[in-house]
Chains A and B, each alone.
Chain A
Amino acid sequence: MLLWLLPPVAWFSVFILVPYAMLFWYSLGHTEDMHFVPGFSLANFARVFTDEPYLGVILKSARIGLTTAILSAIVAWPLAFVIAFHTRSASVKFALYLLVIVPWWASYLVKAYAWKTILGTNGILNATLQGLGFTDEPVRLFLYNEFSVVLTLTYIFTPFAVLSIYAQLERIPTSLIEAAKNLGAGGWEIFWRIVLPISVPGIIAGGIITFSLAFGDFVAPVLVGGSDSVMISNIVINLLGVAFDWPMAAAIGLVIITLGLGLISLTGWLEEKTKVRL
């Protein structure tokens, strides 16, 4: 009778329940001579908050994630607005929409690598600046620091923000804008009092996605980040692959998941609060 439930239950158990249980099991143990010793200790969780550099890197990753989310929203909003309101022809609208998605057909690694060739000392940006005579020496500030990490992450994840803001703006009927004009409101008033407030849930939804993706990223710090721009996922990878400290890695993972769930509930609540029924 309930045979159709078997695939989802199996999928859920094998890929979600069991891995979480294992994660939890590992986090309670410790290692001796790089070998896992089972146990029932919360010491690893305590170390996340007391030992260097864990908490600091988690906070820095959160800062990078938040900056990325904010910058993505700032870039994405006008773009989504133009696609939703200032594109009369349906085919142009579709073309713009497609252009936003198209970069996703290219590999993440290639895109991150591309920034290296743009920002590097022999890169396109420096060559242009030197060619135009703005500088004699190549500028080293562009690459291998937090700036380049945030820039790369913003570039890569902005489409998610565009799509979620666009989805919200698209639902605003033209008659709302016309009604506001008819009542004597100018362009900025319409933006501040109607369009922007209605788009807030889309900004939040896009923000959750870009923040989560940027927060957990480990490619950008490796490719375009400096020695000090390690993010929390890089630490976890090191604990797993280099130090073989799986219990510590598991504990960090669980802390991050808990923080993530908290954040999602908070923003979910915010989204509900700011939601408007069109």
Chain B
Amino acid sequence: MTTGIELRDLRKRYEGHGSAGSWAVDGVDMQIGRGQFVTLLGPSGCGKTTTLRMIAGFEVPTSGQILRDGVDITDQPVTDREMRMVFQDFALFPNMTVAENVAFGLKTRRMKGRFGAAEVRRRVGEYLDLVHLGTHADKRPHQLSGGQKQRVSLARALITDPDVVLFDEPLGSLDAHLRKVMQIELIRLHRELNKTFIYVTHDQDEAMAMSDAIAVMNGGKVQQFGTPREIYDRPTSRYVAGFIGHAHIVEATVAESGASGLSVRLGNGEVVRLDAPADLQRGEAVGLMLRAEDLSLAKPGEGELHGQVSDSLYRGEYVEYVVDLKGGAGTVHVHEPTHAAPFAHGADVALKVNPAKAHVVGGA
């Protein structure tokens, strides 16, 4: 038996206007261990929210199974699941005070008798303190800022001590600064409370910063499920490589492949060496993933690739150069420290590739 949440070939089809409808979720298999912070990441319409809503019980899967600690909960009503959800629009009850909102989950009929009035009051105080809202208990939701509303919604979700907490783009309606603050807050809560967090977002920075594991989704399918480091450094598909970070993919063919490493040849004949061995055939077409921070510029002749600077952008933390590779082999971006000697627009340059970080993704 596995503890945690397991999704088995989960599918959901919405009957659309056409006869066929379309698969919002198209065969998702996933194991989420107890206490993990797992993020479903992808663009809108990729199926991440539908997957989360099926876990919560708001949507009925067309087929497939949801297991919790080995028990099939696919048909369990939402009211019985005791997984709490934090909504993007906060979903605070406007007719109740902050304290009443937070107490709601303790005062439902199914909880009757479990918590006395004094215990409810004590817990509400405790959880409001946990989210730093101790002094706002008697306010109404409309008197709070967006960040405060989301904290109330968090306290309301956590107060019944669920082992699984679901987040549906909870920071989506907050401004950039507040998002950063709340990210740190969520990581702290996850560390302190030791609960399973399943988190949906389209923001890759948010996903990278907070998660133990990320499932990158597209077209109703999980494209890759792994740690943030795996997803970033070793994407398994062009889609994931393009979606995460500032990766540029240059078409290449395998020149040499063995246990010691891998060489690929670009369209212009230049060759790049990679440290990581790969099970690829000589002559196979691949995409060479080059991230801006894994490249550096040098004088012509001092690097394995050559090209011409077509643009440079001062970004404050670094200077971003756009370089057209020789022979029209592709375009890459390069981040250079701001204190380095600048390269002029139109200058011929060489590029050094960090062989430990360069990576190939299969398929043409």
Contacts and interface: CB of A to CB of B under 8 A. Distances in A.
Contact of A173 (B56, B83, B89, B142): B89
B87 A178 contact: yes
A278 B108 contact: no
Interface string B142-178: 1000000000000010001000000000000000000
Interface stretch (B91-99, B256-264, B289-297, B331-339): B91-99
Interface string A46-59: 00000000000000
Contact of A182 (B84, B93, B140): B84
B111 A184 contact: yes
Interface in A156-183: 173, 175-176, 178-183
Given A184-B105, A185-B104, A176 B93 contact: yes
B295 to A, nearest CB: 45
A189 B108 contact: yes
Interface string B45-79: 00000000000101000000000000000000011
Contacts of A182: 56, 58, 78, 81, 83-85
A35 interface: no
A57 to B, nearest CB: 39
Contacts of A178: 58, 78, 85, 87, 91
A152 to B, nearest CB: 35
B95 A179 contact: no
Nearest to A198: B95
State the majority secondary structure of interface residues on A.
helix
B96 to A, nearest CB: 8
B158 to A, nearest CB: 11
Contacts of B109: 185-186, 189
Contact of B87 (A179, A181, A197): A179
Contacts of B105: 183-184
Given A175-B89, A198-B95, A184 B110 contact: yes
Contacts of A101: none
Contact of A175 (B83, B87, B142): B87
Contacts of B206: none
A194 B160 CA distance: 19
Interface in B202-257: none
A86 interface: no
Interface centre among A175, A180, A278 (most CB of B within 10 A): A175
A10 interface: no
B85 A179 contact: yes
A194 B87 contact: no
A211 B78 CA distance: 41
Contacts of B104: 180, 183, 185, 193
Interface centre among B80, B87, B140 (most CB of A within 10 A): B87
A277 B89 contact: no
Contacts of A198: 94-95
A186 B108 contact: yes
A191 to B, nearest CB: 12
Nearest to A178: B58
Contacts of A173: 89, 91
A197 B94 CA distance: 10
B275 interface: no
A193 B108 CA distance: 10
B348 interface: no
A276 B95 contact: yes
Interface centre among B79, B80, B92, B141 (most CB of A within 10 A): B79
Contacts of A277: 94, 140-142
B125 to A, nearest CB: 19
Nearest to B89: A175
B102 to A, nearest CB: 10
28 contacts: A173-B89, A173-B91, A175-B91, A178-B58, A178-B78, A178-B87, A179-B85, A179-B87, A179-B93, A179-B156, A181-B58, A181-B78, A182-B78, A182-B84, A184-B80, A184-B82, A184-B105, A184-B108, A184-B160, A185-B108, A186-B79, A193-B93, A194-B93, A198-B94, A276-B94, A277-B94, A277-B141, A277-B142
Q: Which A-B residue pairs are the 5 nearest by beta carbons?
A: A277-B142, A179-B91, A175-B91, A276-B94, A183-B105
Given A184-B105, A189-B108, A277-B141, 16 more contacts: A175-B87, A175-B89, A175-B91, A176-B94, A179-B93, A179-B156, A180-B104, A183-B105, A184-B79, A184-B80, A184-B108, A184-B160, A186-B79, A189-B109, A194-B95, A198-B95
